[in-house]
Structures are given as C-alpha cells and as structure tokens.
Amino acid sequence: MELYYHSTRNEKERVSASKAILQGLANDGGLFVPESIPALDTDLDHLKDMSYKEVAYEVMKLFLTDFTKEELMYCIEHAYDDKFDTKELVPLKKVDNAWVLELFHGPTIAFKDMALSILPYLMTTSAQKNALKEEIIILTATSGDTGKAAMAGFADVPGTRIVVFYPKNGVSPVQEKQMLTQRGKNVKVVGITGNFDDAQSGVKQMFHDGALKEKLREGGFVFSSANSINIGRLVPQVVYYVYACAQLLKRGAVKPGEKINVCVPTGNFGNILAAYYAKKMGAPIGRLICASNSNKVLYDFFRTGTYDKLHSLDEKAGEFNTDRHFMLTSSPSMDILISSNLERLIYTITGEDTKKNSAYMESLAKEGKYHLSDAEKAKLADFTGGCAGEEEVAQRIKEVFESDGYIMDTHTAVASSVEKKCRRELGGAATLIASTASPYKFLRSVLSAIDEKKYASLSDEALFNEMEKLSSVAIPPAIQDILSAPVLHDTVCETGDMEKEVLKFLGL
C-alpha cells in the first residue's frame, strides 16, 4: 500500500514520498507528514542480526513506498560506503552507565551526515521518477553542520546546485573552515550578518515567494531543501534508532520487552523527532529526553505546554516573565529559538488536526508564542525536557574524561549532562545518548573544558595534536582535509540580501 504525505497545515496537499522529497516544504508553509507512521514489519530479533544498511532498507521501505527495492538499495549502498571512517558506521560505546551512539563518523564528522549522505541520491532518484525537467536548487540555512554536510553530499551531483547560508559570527572556526573550503562547481556558501533564525527565515521566505518561484522556473530551476524539514532527511534518521535498539538487545544491554530511554541534544527538533517516529513504529523506546543548551525554549515548552520564543520561563514564579535572548554557546548547532520540526510533533498531539496546528503556527508567527490545551499537554508525556548551561557542559566534558577517558563534544555533553540529572527520576533499563559530533569539531571548547590554562595559548593545529594524544582517537580525515585545503568562498551579505545572492549565483 502506498503511503502518502500531506502538509501539517492541510490534508488536501497530498503527495507521494518522492514528490515530498523534491518539494521539501509544503506550499502552504507546513511540513510534510506521513498519513500514518508505519509499524516495523520485522521484529527486533531479526533486526539485531542485520547490518546497518539492511536495517536502513527495512525502515526506509516503509516510509518511501513509491521507491522500488532496487532504487532504495542503490541509494543506501552509495550513501553508506567508505565515506564513513568506521565499518560499523555508528559505533555504540558504554560511557558512565549510558550508551553513547556515535553518529559522527561520516565525511563532515557530525550526525547530519547520516541523512545528508543519502539525501542527494533520494533526491536525484525522485527527480527521475517524476520526470523533473528543471535543475534542482538546494537552498539551505545552517547553524554550522548542515551546510557542510549538505555541500559534501551535493557537490558535483549532476542536475543540482546548492546555496548555503550561515550566521557569519555564529559557527565554530572548524565549521566555518569546513564550509569555506568546499569544492564543487555547483556550490555556493554565503555568510549572513544575522543569526541562524534569520538565515532560516530568509530561506523560508524565498521558498514562499511566488514571483521568485516563477522567475526560477523560467530560468529552468526549481528550489528544494536539504534542511531537516525535508522528509528525505527525517526518514534516514529513524534508521539509527531502530538499529541501536536492536544492537542493545543483541549485546544483552536490555532484555526483550525492556525499554530504552533516548536522550538527544536538540536544536531544530529533527533528530529527536526521528527517535519519536522510531518509537511509534514499535522500537522499544521509553522516554525521549530533549536536551537543550542555554537557548532553552524547548525545555520551557515541555515544562509548561507553552512555546514562547520571546520570553523565558522563570521556574520559581512559573511565569514567562523575562525577555528571551538568542545566546551564542559552545554548542552552536543547537543555538536555535524556532525549532521547525516541532511542528510535526504539534500536529501529532493535536490529534492530527491540521486546523489546530495551523492556528498554533499562526500564533507563533504573529505573537511569538502558543499555548497547548491541557489535554494536548498531557500527550507530551513521552518527552522529558532538560537543559544544561555552559558551565554544566564544560564540567560534564571534564568529568566524563576523568571517569572514563572518553572525550565528548559540546553538543553530546549537553545531552550527557541532562541525562545524568534525570537518570534517577526516569529509571529505565538503559539510556542511549545520541552523540552528534566529533570532539575534533569543537576542539577549543572541548579542550578548554578539560584544562583551560594548559590549552588557552595553543594554536588550532597544536590542539588537534593534543586531542589526538588525549583521546587516543586519530585525527579524522575530515580534519586533515581542511588543514591543507584552500579557502574558496568569501561572500558575506546582509540578511535582506539573501535573494540577491541566490539570483546572482544562478545568473538570473
């Protein structure tokens, strides 16, 4: 049976999976959601003996029902090859009584690679299936990791071009160098003078601009998105949660029937939503722990059922009574106040009511907030929100290094800190922490958490060597690459000039 997708804001815009992938965002500004979440049709006992790629097929075939087996296998085989620096693709490590799922062994050493190494294949296959004539223009806003991973995936892929916008002063030096050294005739990187939310809004605006769309069509182009709103990103992310559950069963970390809590360092809410979908498919997942850094809008939301991007919750008073400011932290990929993918959860907990969801999203756009009803709030019980400030993150990195000799990146440390704080309260047979980046990527923050005085005066290059000594993990090829690669991009623009830059790149 074919699974269709429709917008979170109206049921009438109904498309196949391949069309949803090509289009990225629904025309009404909503996100595509599957009409139902499919149930796993292979039990964990079988999945536990399968390779990552085999599990990927078992999960993805249920969501992308208009792809043939050959097409899906082709995409999976080409995505998960020796671009990854480990044969297991996603190693699981036991660290201080939790299981750390290392999702950062792909070409850009962040978890975005798990989805972005397959998205170009899913997209070009979708273009063929739908006899698309236009060249696909991928437009992406990035808080640091998506941009590089998307460019690495789409570089020199025939029939596509990609433009990435990032906050000029809001990404780590390694992240920026990774982007600015990207090769490929079809790639363009632009720093903007605003923050990530500005970049994301600018991109969304271009997607919704009818006149711009028409202009592109005349030029033989069509926009699509590699952001985590694309279901072609979301579906491949469901895979590793199912795989990890099966592997924990195989290792005897849990017994059949026992539940695994999952803790995810969260920004745009894509990764944790994938874990929620895995749970709905039947994976033995207990609580979903949503870990935020100091930009704790999601923490406040799970506490109260109110999403307020303008005001921050004062827990003692139980009121949103202070202005919320966007903060730059040591975990920049989570510095987000508008979590796009949350809309898919809101849609689900309103009882899949597109009207109610639309009303909430309109309220968010107009007033900067919305309040769930009590009945809706009760349906958030699968989730626990937690947050960790900068000091807690640094302390956790140091503590885990000292207890286990394991070095985690700043994003993973947000999750680990939160996990530790709610461990006793939540119980559960085992907890899985999604580790979203290599510590090499956030080198200076990580090492100064371990010993601020010792490392403060060292250059980045010296720090790479220190990290290698301390972690006993060899400098990843992705880092060796950027140390020698020339900078190829230097465009910076005002937030208001994003469209101009796109048109210039396309020669329109």
Residues 6+ apart with CB under 8 A from 255: 249, 429
Please report where in the chains the tokens 């536990």 appear, as a residue: 48
Is 384 a binder of ligand PLP (CB under 6 A)?
A: no
Active site residue ranges: 112
Least distance between ligand PLP and beta carbon 143 (Å):
6
CA 203 distance to own-chain centroid: 17
Among 105, 129, 344, 411, binds ligand PLP (CB under 6 A): 411
Among 6, 9, 105, 112, binds ligand PLP (CB under 6 A): 112
Is 270 a binder of ligand PLP (CB under 6 A)?
A: yes
Tokens of 66: 């208009």
Among 437, 446, 478, 502, binds ligand PLP (CB under 6 A): 437
If the CB atoms of residues 216 and 408 are measured against ligand PLP, the closer one turns out to be 408
CA distance 492 to 196: 14
Least distance between ligand PLP and beta carbon 237 (Å):
8
> Between 311 and 350, how does the x/- string for binding to ligand PLP read (CB under 6 A)?
----------------------xx----------------
If the CB atoms of residues 47 and 263 are measured against ligand PLP, the closer one turns out to be 263
Please report where in the chains the tokens 């005897």 appear, as a residue: 252
Residues constituting the chain = 508
Tokens of 3: 């699974």
CA distance 73 to 469: 39
**Number of other residues whose CB lies within 10 A of the CB of residue 335:** 23
Cβ–Cβ under 8 Å, residues 312 and 300:
yes
Among 18, 182, 227, 266, binds ligand PLP (CB under 6 A): 266
Sign of CA pseudo-dihedral 277, 331, 101, 475: positive
CA distance 65 to 441: 36
Backbone angles phi, psi at 188, to 5 degrees: -140, 130
Among 120, 147, 194, 267, binds ligand PLP (CB under 6 A): 267
If the CB atoms of residues 129 and 148 are measured against ligand PLP, the closer one turns out to be 148
Cβ–Cβ under 8 Å, residues 126 and 231:
no
Among 181, 268, 312, 348, binds ligand PLP (CB under 6 A): 268
Backbone angles phi, psi at 428, to 5 degrees: 95, 155
Is 106 a binder of ligand PLP (CB under 6 A)?
A: no
Least distance between ligand PLP and beta carbon 266 (Å):
4
Among 271, 293, 350, 448, binds ligand PLP (CB under 6 A): 271
Is 110 a binder of ligand PLP (CB under 6 A)?
A: yes
Least distance between ligand PLP and beta carbon 298 (Å):
9
If the CB atoms of residues 16 and 175 are measured against ligand PLP, the closer one turns out to be 175
> Is residue 134 classed as helix, strand or coil in its secondary structure?
coil
Tokens of 372: 């769930």
Q: Show the beta-strand stretches assigned E in 216-318.
A: 221-225, 260-265, 285-292, 306-308, 311-314
Which of positions 46-105 make contact with ligand PLP (CB under 6 A)?
none
CA distance 19 to 25: 10
CA 253 distance to own-chain centroid: 27
Which of positions 216-245 make contact with ligand PLP (CB under 6 A)?
228
Among 107, 265, 284, 386, binds ligand PLP (CB under 6 A): 265
Least distance between ligand PLP and beta carbon 274 (Å):
8
DSSP 476: P
Binding segment for ligand PLP (CB under 6 A), chosen from 79-87, 89-97, 262-270, 446-454, is 262-270
Question: Dmax over Cα atoms in the chain, in whole Å?
Answer: 61
Is 140 a binder of ligand PLP (CB under 6 A)?
A: no
Residues 6+ apart with CB under 8 A from 457: none
The count of residues interacting with ligand PLP (CB under 6 A) is 17
Least distance between ligand PLP and beta carbon 2 (Å):
27
* Nearest one of 49, 21, 213 to 116, comparing CA atoms: 21
Tokens of 119: 């998205």
Least distance between ligand PLP and beta carbon 408 (Å):
11
Among 113, 145, 343, 501, binds ligand PLP (CB under 6 A): 145
Least distance between ligand PLP and beta carbon 31 (Å):
13
If the CB atoms of residues 300 and 501 are measured against ligand PLP, the closer one turns out to be 300
If the CB atoms of residues 110 and 400 are measured against ligand PLP, the closer one turns out to be 110
Residues 6+ apart with CB under 8 A from 339: 266, 267, 268, 269, 297, 298
If the CB atoms of residues 47 and 272 are measured against ligand PLP, the closer one turns out to be 272
Binding segment for ligand PLP (CB under 6 A), chosen from 46-54, 166-174, 260-268, 318-326, is 260-268
Residues near ligand PLP (CB under 6 A) are 110-112, 145, 228, 265-271, 333-334, 411, 436-437
